[in-house]
Amino acid sequence: MGKGASTRLAVLEVATEIAARRGLAGLTIGTLAESAGLSKSGLFAHFGSKEELQLATVGHARDRFVNEVLLPALAQPRGEPRLRTFFERWLVACRDGMPAGCVYLSAKPEFDDQPGRVRDQLASDYRDLLDSIGQMVQAGIAEGQFRADADPAQFAQELDGIVLAFFFAYRLLRDPATETRARRAFDAALDRIRAT
Amino acid sequence: MGKGASTRLAVLEVATEIAARRGLAGLTIGTLAESAGLSKSGLFAHFGSKEELQLATVGHARDRFVNEVLLPALAQPRGEPRLRTFFERWLVACRDGMPAGCVYLSAKPEFDDQPGRVRDQLASDYRDLLDSIGQMVQAGIAEGQFRADADPAQFAQELDGIVLAFFFAYRLLRDPATETRARRAFDAALDRIRAT
DNA sequence: CGATTGACCGACCGATCGTGCTACTGTCGC
DNA sequence: GCGACAGTAGCACGATCGGTCGGTCAATCG
C-alpha cells in the first residue's frame, strides 16, 4: 500500500469517527484535517470535494460494518445462530460507539430528503442491510427453523427498530436497562417467527 | 397576543419545519430569517442566541407533538384504544412529515454526545415520551386489559423502535409497505401484553 | 545526474456563520 | 401631540465554511 493510500485510510478512519459523533454534515474539512494531522489542502487533495469525502466516509463505515457485524454472522450456522450473532454484534457495535453503524444512524436524518449521491448511497446501503436480514430469515425458513409463513421483510424492519430504539435511548439517556430491553424485544420477535 | 409574540410564533413554525428537514444544526439563522421574511438581526432579537433559538424550536415541536398526538390519545378510553390512537397519530405524523416528531429524530443524533442545554432538553423530552407510553400501558394493566406482568418500559421502548424503523425506512426508501409493517409490528407487540 | 511525479503545505478566496451595535418605525399611554 | 418603548432593519465584526493556487520536498526514473 502506497503512502497516499495509507494516509487516505487513516483519514477515513478518523472521518468515520467524527461523522459518527457529529454527523456527516458536522464532518468538516478543517476539523478533520486537524484531527488527522494534515493541512486542509493536503487532506482535500485526497478527495477533491466535500461530497466525495462524505461518500468515501460512508463507504468506509459500510466496510467496517460488513467486516465487524455481517461477516462474523455469516460465519455462523444459518437460521437462529446467524441471526442472533448479527443482532448481538450490531448491538454492541452501537453501544460501544463503533463508528460504522452510527454513521448511518446519524446521517440518515440529515440526508433523507436532501437529494444527491450521498442520499442515494445511504438508501442503497440501508436496503442492502434490510435485505441481508431478510435473507438470514429466509435461510432459517429453508432450514425449517422458522415458520414457513414468516415475513422476512417484516422481521428485518422490526429488528432494525429494536436496534434503533436501543441506540437512541442508550445514547441519549445512558440507561443500561435499554440494552436488556433490546435483547428481550429481539427474543420476542424471534419467538414469533420460530417454527412451532 | 402582541405583535412580537405572534411574529415569534410564526418564526418558530418555520423553524420547526426547517429543523425537521435539515436538522437542528442545519437550522441556520440566515436561512431561517429569509424563510420567515425577516432580517437576520430582526429575527435574532427575538431569541438572543442560537442555543436559545434551538431550545425554543425544540419546545415548539414538543408542544405540537403534545397537541397533535398525545392529547388526542389521552382523550380516548384508557388501555388499548388510547395506546392505538397514540401510535396511529404518531405514525401518520411521521409519515406526513409533521415537524414535531421529526425534529426530535433529526436532532437526537446531532446532540447525543454534545453536552449542553439542548441535549438536556432532548433527553428530558425523550424520557417524558417513554414515560407517557409507559403510563398508558400501566393504565391498561389497571383496567385488566393488559397482563399484570407486562413491562411498561419494555413496551415503550419497543413502540419507539417500531416508529423509528418506520420513520427511517419510509423517509429513506419511500416504500409504502413499511407503514403496513409498522402496524403489524404494533399489533404483535400489543398481543404480547394483552391479558389472556 | 537532471527531470518528473506524488504527497503535502501555507496563504488565500468569496460566502456564510453567529453575534453585536445603532438607528429607524410604528403603536400606545399620557 | 409627544415621549416611551417594543419591533425591526442596516451594517459590520471575527470566525469558519468549502475550495483554489502556487509551491516545497522526497522519491523515482531515464
> Tens of pLDDT along A41-53?
999 999 989 999 9
- Protein-contacted positions of strand D (CB under 7 Å): 6-12, 16-22
Instruction: Provide CB contacts within 8 A for A132, sequence distance 6+.
Output: A70
pLDDT at B96 (0 to 100): 86
Tell me how far apart the alpha carbons of residues B81 and B90 are, in angstroms, rounded to a whole number.
Answer: 14
pLDDT at A30 over 80: yes
Higher pLDDT: A100 or B85? It is B85
pLDDT at B97 (0 to 100): 76
Question: What would the mean pLDDT of A73-87 be, rounded to a whole number?
Answer: 98
Region of poorest pLDDT, from A78-87, A166-175, B77-86, B131-140: A166-175
B144 Cα distance to chain centroid:
29
pLDDT at A196 (0 to 100): 84
The pTM assigned to this predicted structure is: 0.93
Tell me how far apart the alpha carbons of residues A146 and A166 are, in angstroms, rounded to a whole number.
Answer: 25
Q: Across the interface, which of B110, B173, B181 has its CB nearest the CB of A123?
A: B173
Region of poorest pLDDT, from A110-114, A174-178, B155-159: A110-114
pLDDT band at B110 (very low <50, low <70, confident <90, very high): confident
Residue nearest to nucleotide D19 (CA to C1'): A49
Question: What would the mean pLDDT of B110-120 be, rounded to a whole number?
Answer: 87
- The number of C-beta contacts closer than 8 angstroms across A and B is 129
Q: For residue range A90-142, what is the model confidence (pLDDT) as tens digits?
A: 999 988 877 777 788 888 878 887 888 999 999 999 999 999 999 999 999 99
Longest dimension (CA), chain B: 62
pLDDT band at A152 (very low <50, low <70, confident <90, very high): very high
Share of chain B above pLDDT 70, in %: 98
B123: its cell numbers: 433527553
pLDDT band at B4 (very low <50, low <70, confident <90, very high): low
Query: Do A26 and B110 count as a contact with CB atoms less than 8 A apart?
Result: yes
Q: For residue range B43-54, what is the model confidence (pLDDT) as tens digits?
A: 999 998 999 999
pLDDT at A3 (0 to 100): 67
Question: Which residue in B120, B151, B172, B183 has the most chain A C-beta atoms within 10 A of its own C-beta, making it the best mutation to test that interface?
Answer: B172
Cβ–Cβ under 8 Å, residues B53 and B27: yes
pLDDT at B3 (0 to 100): 64
Question: A172 vs A51, B105, B112, CA distance in Å?
Answer: 29, 12, 5
Cβ–Cβ under 8 Å, residues B126 and B108: yes
Tell me how far apart the alpha carbons of residues A118 and A121 are, in angstroms, rounded to a whole number.
Answer: 5
pLDDT at A113 (0 to 100): 77
pLDDT at B26 over 90: no
pLDDT at B69 (0 to 100): 96
Q: Is any atom of nucleic acid chain C found less than 7 Å from the CB of residue B154?
A: no
Question: Which residue in A147, A172, A179 has the most chain B C-beta atoms within 10 A of its own C-beta, making it the best mutation to test that interface?
Answer: A172
Question: What would the mean pLDDT of B170-176 be, rounded to a whole number?
Answer: 93
Smallest CA–CA separation between B123 and chain A, in Å?
A: 6
Cβ–Cβ under 8 Å, residues B162 and B185: yes
Cβ–Cβ under 8 Å, residues B167 and B103: no
Torsional sign, CA A16, A20, A21, A26: positive
pLDDT at A4 over 70: no
Chain B hits for A182, CB-CB cut-off 8 Å, are: 157
Q: For residue range A155-168, what is the model confidence (pLDDT) as tens digits?
A: 999 999 999 999 99
Share of chain A above pLDDT 90, in %: 78
- Best-predicted range by mean pLDDT (A192-196, B104-108, B151-155): B151-155
Residue nearest to nucleotide C16 (CA to C1'): B30
The number of beta carbons lying within 10 Å of the beta carbon of residue B146 is 24
pLDDT band at B16 (very low <50, low <70, confident <90, very high): very high
Instruction: Provide CB contacts within 8 A for B17, sequence distance 6+.
Output: B99
Q: Is any atom of nucleic acid chain D found less than 7 Å from the CB of residue A44?
A: yes
pLDDT band at A1 (very low <50, low <70, confident <90, very high): low
pLDDT at A76 (0 to 100): 98
pLDDT at B1 (0 to 100): 60
Question: What would the mean pLDDT of B131-138 be, rounded to a whole number?
Answer: 98
Question: What would the mean pLDDT of B56-63 be, rounded to a whole number?
Answer: 94
